[in-house]
Amino acid sequence: MAARPGRGAAPVFCGALALAAVALLPAADAAPAPGPAAPDRKGDTFLTAESGGVLAIEGGECFTDPARSPVAGEVMVRYVPCDEEGAANQVYGFVAAPDGAFDRDRVAAFARESCGRGFRTYWPGEAAAGLDFYPVLPTAATWDIGDRDVMCVAYRPGSPLTGSLLPLASALAPAPAR
């Protein structure tokens, strides 16, 4: 598992991973992207490791849905405190995909299963009512430079976040250093 430079240990449910630092833009720089009121997070292309701003998001943090940034000139996400306007998604963990040649279908299946297991751990049974999850996958290009990280994200379909979705603040305590 290759770690990306520039980050400390990220809080995770399956071991510590490091992510690359990416500059975040201020809230005023992201204008809402045109499209449906409820974005389709079910596909595994809603966000990828190449989506602008996604690599700057750490475990437990909340972020916006993808929006066009006039300043950056691209569609990107940005960090937002979970209780502030614009928060739509919350990272609840990271998992490392198995090494080997990049096979998008294999990585997507691994990601859905692994993130699903973490989702059921944090929100068992009725606790998951009104919530859902999706994985953010590496792409062929990021895989080629050693990226094996899958980000697991929870959200409330059709509603913005009004605070952390995590059941316990201590659930994402930093993993011990190795």
Name the stretches of the chain with pLDDT < 70. 1-45, 168-178
- Looking at residue 33, the DSSP 8-state letter turns out to be P
Q: So what's the pLDDT on residue 2?
A: 36
146 and 2 Cβ atoms separated by less than 8 Å: yes
Instruction: Give pTM, 2 decimals.
Output: 0.72
Q: So what's the pLDDT on residue 176?
A: 44
- Both tokens of residue 16? 């510590």
- Both tokens of residue 154? 């929870």
Q: So what's the pLDDT on residue 73?
A: 77
Name residue 154's beta-bridge partners.
90, 133
Q: So what's the pLDDT on residue 69?
A: 79
Burial class (CB in 10 A: 0-12, 13-18, 19+), 158: exposed
Q: So what's the pLDDT on residue 104?
A: 94
Question: Which residues lie below 8 Å from residue 11, measured CB to CB, with a gap of 6+?
Answer: 58, 59, 60, 172, 173, 174, 175
Extended strands (E) in 37-86: 62-63, 67-69, 74-76
Radius of gyration of the chain (CA): 15
Q: So what's the pLDDT on residue 50?
A: 84
Tally the residues of the chain: 178
Q: So what's the pLDDT on residue 11?
A: 33
- Both tokens of residue 87? 């928060």
For 118-142, the pLDDT digits (tens) are: 999 999 999 999 999 999 999 999 9
